[in-house]
Structure 1
C-alpha cells in the first residue's frame, strides 16, 4: 500500500473530524488577545480621564439611595433637595476623612521636634551606609569616596522631611484636582440620571434598559458593602496596631492606630506609610532590636489583614474570589497606580456584574465567583 496515500487520507479524515488545527478559531483567539492588549493600553493612556469618571460613577451610584429617599418624601417642586442631600453626604464623608488626616498631621507636626534630632542622625547614618555600600558594589576608590563625602562643597543629602513634604505636596495637589472633578462629575451624573434612563430606553428598548438598571443597582449595593467591609477591616487593623505597639511602649500609640484605620482605605501605599512611621519613631527613641521587632509585628499584621483577611471578607461579602480580588489589585495598580489600587475591588465587582448581565458573556461571570454555586453568585450580582 502506498504510504503517501494513507497519510493523505489520514490528514483528510483528521481535518474533517475537527481534530486538526482550526485556523479560524486561532485567528479569533489572536484577535481577542490583540483587542485585550489594546484595551489595556487605552485604559492606561486615558487614566487622567477614566479615573475621575470611574470614581464619580461609584460615588454617584453609592449615594443615589439617599437622594431617592429624600425625593420620595418632599414635594415635587423641591425635589432638588434629594441631589443636595446626596452631595451633602459626599461632602460630610470627605470632610470627615480629610479632617481626620489633618488632625493626625497636626499632631505629628507638634510632636515631631522632640524626635527631629534622633531622626536626623538616623537618616545621616543610613545615607552613609548606602554610600559605602554603593562604593563597594561599583568598585569606586575609597579615598575618592571619602573625600567626596567629607568635602564642604559636596551636595548634602536631601533632608528626609523636606523630600517627603515635596513629594506629598505634589501628590496632594494631583489628588485634590482629581477629587474636585470626581465630585463635580458625580453631581452631574445624579442630575442627569432620569434623562439618561429615558435615552437608554429609546436606544436599547425597555427590556435592555431594565437589565442595565439592575446591573447599576447591583454594582451600587456591592460597592456600599465593600465600604462597610473596608471600615470594619480598618477598625480591626487599628486595634491590632494599638495592642502591638502598646506592648513596647511606643509613643503616640493611639495616633498610629487611628492612622492605620484611615490609611486602610488606601491599599498597599496606606499600609506602608501606616507601618513605617511608628517603626521610624521606635528606631529614633529606642534601640534597633525593638524597632525590628515592632516592624516585624506590624508586617505580620499587614500581611495577614491585607493578603488573607481582607480578600476573604471582601470575597465573602461581594461573592468575588479572593484570588480575583488580588489579581484585580495587581492589574489596576499597574494601570492606574494608587487610584487603581483604591478602585480594584469595586472594579472586580463591576466586571463580574456586567458579565453576568450580558447575554453572550454570562457563562464567564462564574469565573469571578468565590464558589461554584451559580445560584448564590446570581443572588449577589442581582439587586436586592
Structure 2
C-alpha cells in the first residue's frame, strides 16, 4: 500500500506548477506594502530601535579592540556604550547651538534683509517686470519670522522624551547582548551558514557605510570650514560640524548643511557673498559626495546610486525624518534578509546593486 500512495503523492507534486514570475512579484509587493504600513504605524519605536542597532554596530571596533586587550566583560560593555552616548550628546549640542545662533542673529539683521528685498524688487521693476504682487509679499518677508519655527525645532530637540529614553534603554540592552550574540552566531554557523553569513554581512556593510561616510563627511566639512573662514562667514566651525552631521543623510543632508550659513551670509553680507557660499558648497559637495563617495560607497556596501535614492524616499515616508538617516542601513538589512540569505537569489542582488554581491 505504501508504494502506490507514495507514487500518487509524487504524481500530485508533479502536477503542482510554480507560480508565474509576475504573480510572485505582485505577491511580494503586496507583502512589502503590509510590512511598510506596519513599520509606519510603529515608527515611534522602530526608528529608535534601528538607530540603537546602528550605533551598536558603529561601536563594534572599540569592542573588538577591548577584546584583543583582554579587558573584562564590564569594560567591553561600558566603554563602547559611553562612547556612543558622548557622540549623541555632542551631536545634539552642535545642532542646538546652530539653531540657537540663528535665533539670536537673524532678528538683529531684519533691516538689512528688508533693504535687500527692496533693492531686488526695484531692480526687477527697472527691467519692466510687474512687481506689484512682489511688493505685497516682500512686506511680510522678515528673518525674524523664522524664529518661531526654529524655536519649535529647538524645543523638539531638547525634549527628547520617551523616544530618547527608549533609545538609551535599547543601547544598553544591545551593548549587553553584543558579545553573547557573536558567540551564538559562531555556534549557529555550522547548521545555518547562509543565515549567519547574511547577518554578518549586514554588520560588515553597515560598518563600512559608516566608516566611508565618516571619512568623506570629515573631508567635506573641513573644506566647508576653510571656505567659510576665507569668506568671513560667522561661526564657521559650527557650520562645518553641522555639515559633518548632515552628511549621514543622503542628498537632503546637503541642503540642511547649506541653508543656515547661506541664509546668515545673505542677511549679513548681501547676495554676492551668499552666492559664493552656495557655489563653494555645491562644488565641494559635487567633488566629495557625487564623484568620490559613490565609487567608494558602492564598493563598500554594494548599493547603486539609484537604489540609495529610492531607499531614502521609501524610508523617509515610512519612518519620518529619522528614516532619512537610517535609509541605507535599513536597505542593507532588507537586502540581507531577502536576498543574501538565499544563494539562488544572487541574480536579484546583481540587478538591484549593479554588482555581484560579495560572499
TM-score band (shorter)?
A: 0.7 to 0.9
* Equivalent in 187, 190, 193 of residue 175 of structure 2: 190
Instruction: Name 2:342's counterpart in structure 1.
Output: 358
Instruction: Kindly indicate whether the alpha-carbon contact (under 8 Å) linking 1:60 and 1:186 is maintained by their aligned counterparts in 2.
Output: yes
Please tell me whether residue 227 in structure 1 is matched to residue 210 in structure 2: yes
Deviates more, 1:230-239 or 1:192-201: 192-201
Q: Distance in 2 between matches of 1:42 and 1:265?
A: 25
* Equivalent in 341, 353, 356 of residue 369 of structure 1: 353
Q: Distance in 2 between matches of 1:287 and 1:201?
A: 61
Instruction: Name 2:241's counterpart in structure 1.
Output: 258
Deviates more, 1:193-202 or 1:273-282: 193-202
Q: Distance in 1 between matches of 2:287 and 2:65?
A: 39
Instruction: Kindly indicate whether the alpha-carbon contact (under 8 Å) linking 1:314 and 1:322 is maintained by their aligned counterparts in 2.
Output: no
Q: Distance in 1 between matches of 2:289 and 2:313?
A: 13
How far off is 1:122 after superposition?
Answer: 6.3
Q: Distance in 2 between matches of 1:23 and 1:353?
A: 24
Q: Distance in 1 between matches of 2:289 and 2:161?
A: 26
Instruction: Name 1:95's counterpart in structure 2.
Output: 89
How far off is 1:47 after superposition?
Answer: 1.6
* Aligned-pair Cα RMSD in Å: 4.2
Deviates more, 1:208-217 or 1:55-64: 208-217
How far off is 1:227 after superposition?
Answer: 1.8
Paired residue total: 333
Instruction: Name 1:84's counterpart in structure 2.
Output: 78
Q: Once superposed, which parts of structure 1, at least 4 consecutive aligned residues long, lie more than 6 Å away?
A: 120-126, 155-158, 194-202
Q: Distance in 2 between matches of 1:72 and 1:292?
A: 51
Structure whose CA Rg is larger: 1
Segments of structure 2 that go 5 or more residues without pairing to the other structure are: 1-17, 121-129
SS of equivalent to 2:190: helix
* Equivalent in 50, 57, 62 of residue 66 of structure 1: 62
The TM-score with structure 1 as length reference comes to 0.69
Instruction: Kindly indicate whether the alpha-carbon contact (under 8 Å) linking 1:201 and 1:208 is maintained by their aligned counterparts in 2.
Output: no
How far off is 1:325 after superposition?
Answer: 1.9
Instruction: Name 1:52's counterpart in structure 2.
Output: 48
Q: Distance in 2 between matches of 1:35 and 1:220?
A: 25
For residues 191 and 23 of structure 1, do their structure 2 counterparts lie closer, same or farther at Cα, with a shift above 3 Å needed?
Answer: closer
